Structure 1
Amino acid sequence: MSGGVVAKAMAASTAVEEERPGRFYFNITGFPFPLGPFLERRTIRKEVEKGLIWMLEQEQALAFGNVTTNIRMTVIKLKSGGLWIHAPIAPTDECIQLLNELEAPVEYIVLPTFAYEHKVFVGPFSRKFPRAHVWVAPRQWSWPVDLPLQFFGIFGAKILRNDDKSAPWVDEIDYKILSCSVGVGPYVEVAFFHKQSKILLLTDAVIFVPEKPPEVVGKQALLSAAKNGLAVKLLSAGKEVSNDPIIDDEATRQRGWERMVLQILFLGPSNLLEPKQSFAQMSKKLIVSPIVKTLVFDKVPEKVNAWVQEITREWKFSRIIPAHFAAPVAADGRDLRVAFRFLNDLLPEEEMWASSVLLSISSLFSRASSVFPAADMKTLSSLDEFLVSVGAVKKTISGKGRQ
Structure 2
Amino acid sequence: MTEEAGIFQNQDFSWFFWFTLPIYPFSKRRTLRKEVVKDTIWTFDQVQGIFYVVVPIRMTVVKLYGGGLFVYAPVAPTAECIHLVKELVAEHGDVKYIVLPTISGLEHKVFVGPFARHFPQAKVFIAPNQWSFPLNLPLSWLGLPSQRTQVLPDDSQQAPFGEEFDYEILEAIDLNLGKFSEVAFFHRRSRTLLVTDSVVAIPEAAPAIIQLEPYPLLFHAKDSATDIIPDNQANRCKGWQRIALFSMYFRPSVLEIKRWSQVFRDAFQAGDRSPKAYFGLYPFQWQPNWERAFADLRGNGRLFVAPILQALILNRAPQETLNWVEKVAKWDFQRIIPCHLDSPLNATPQEFRQAFSFLEREATIGKLPYHALPEEEFKILRQIDAGLSRSGIVPPSKL
TM-score category of the 2 structures, normalised to the smaller one? 0.7 to 0.9
Trace 1:243-282 onto structure 2 (pairs within 5 A).
243-272=226-255, 273-274=286-287, 275-282=290-297
Cα distance between partner residues in 1 of 2:8 and 2:375: 51
After superposition, what is the alpha-carbon deviation per residue over 1:188-215, rounded to whole angstroms, capped at 9, x for unaligned?
A: 1001000001111100000011111111
Identity of aligned pairs, percent?
A: 41
Trace 1:179-328 onto structure 2 (pairs within 5 A).
179-184=171-176, 185-217=178-210, 218-228=213-223, 243-272=226-255, 273-274=286-287, 275-283=290-298, 284-313=301-330, 315-328=331-344
AA in 2 matched with 1:319: R
Alignment equivalent of 1:330, drawn from 327, 346, 351: 346
AA in 1 matched with 2:203: P
- Structure 2 length as normaliser, TM-score? 0.83
Cα distance between partner residues in 1 of 2:374 and 2:368: 21
Matching of residue 112 in structure 1 with residue 101 in structure 2: yes
Q: Is the 8 A contact 2:357 2:365 kept in 1?
A: no
CA drift of 1:73 comes to 0.5
After superposition, what is the alpha-carbon deviation per residue over 1:215-273, rounded to whole angstroms, capped at 9, x for unaligned?
A: 11121111122234xxxxxxxxxxxx674332322222222111111111111111231
Cα distance between partner residues in 1 of 2:175 and 2:46: 31
* Larger displacement relative to structure 2 (287-296 or 173-182): 173-182
Q: What does residue 371 of structure 1 align with?
A: 372
Name the SS for the 2:59 alignment partner.
strand
Name the SS for the 1:25 alignment partner.
coil
Aligned Cα RMSD in Å? 1.9
Cα distance between partner residues in 1 of 2:162 and 2:80: 30
Name the SS for the 1:276 alignment partner.
helix
After superposition, what is the alpha-carbon deviation per residue over 1:315-363, rounded to whole angstroms, capped at 9, x for unaligned?
A: 1111110001111101111101111111112xxxxxxxxx75654x313
Trace 1:4-403 onto structure 2 (pairs within 5 A).
22-26=12-16, 27-30=18-21, 34-62=22-50, 65-102=51-88, 103=90, 104-114=93-103, 115-156=105-146, 157-163=149-155, 165-184=157-176, 185-217=178-210, 218-228=213-223, 243-272=226-255, 273-274=286-287, 275-283=290-298, 284-313=301-330, 315-345=331-361, 358-359=365-366, 361-363=367-369, 370-398=371-399
Which runs of no fewer than 5 residues in structure 2 stay unpaired? Answer: 1-5, 256-285
Cα distance between partner residues in 2 of 1:358 and 1:178: 21
Cα distance between partner residues in 1 of 2:38 and 2:380: 44
Change (3 A) 1:299 1:370: farther
Q: Is the 8 A contact 2:127 2:182 kept in 1?
A: yes
AA in 1 matched with 2:136: D
AA in 1 matched with 2:13: R
Q: What does residue 266 of structure 2 align with?
A: none
CA drift of 1:151 comes to 2.3
Q: Is the 8 A contact 2:183 2:195 kept in 1?
A: yes
Q: Is the 8 A contact 1:161 1:177 kept in 2?
A: no
Cα distance between partner residues in 1 of 2:161 and 2:141: 27
Change (3 A) 1:357 1:67: closer
Name the SS for the 1:287 alignment partner.
coil
Cα distance between partner residues in 2 of 1:133 and 1:298: 34
CA drift of 1:144 comes to 3.2
Cα distance between partner residues in 2 of 1:110 and 1:162: 14
Name the SS for the 2:54 alignment partner.
strand
Q: Is the 8 A contact 2:207 2:342 kept in 1?
A: yes
Name the SS for the 1:208 alignment partner.
coil
CA drift of 1:162 comes to 1.7
CA drift of 1:17 comes to 6.8
Q: Is the 8 A contact 2:102 2:182 kept in 1?
A: yes
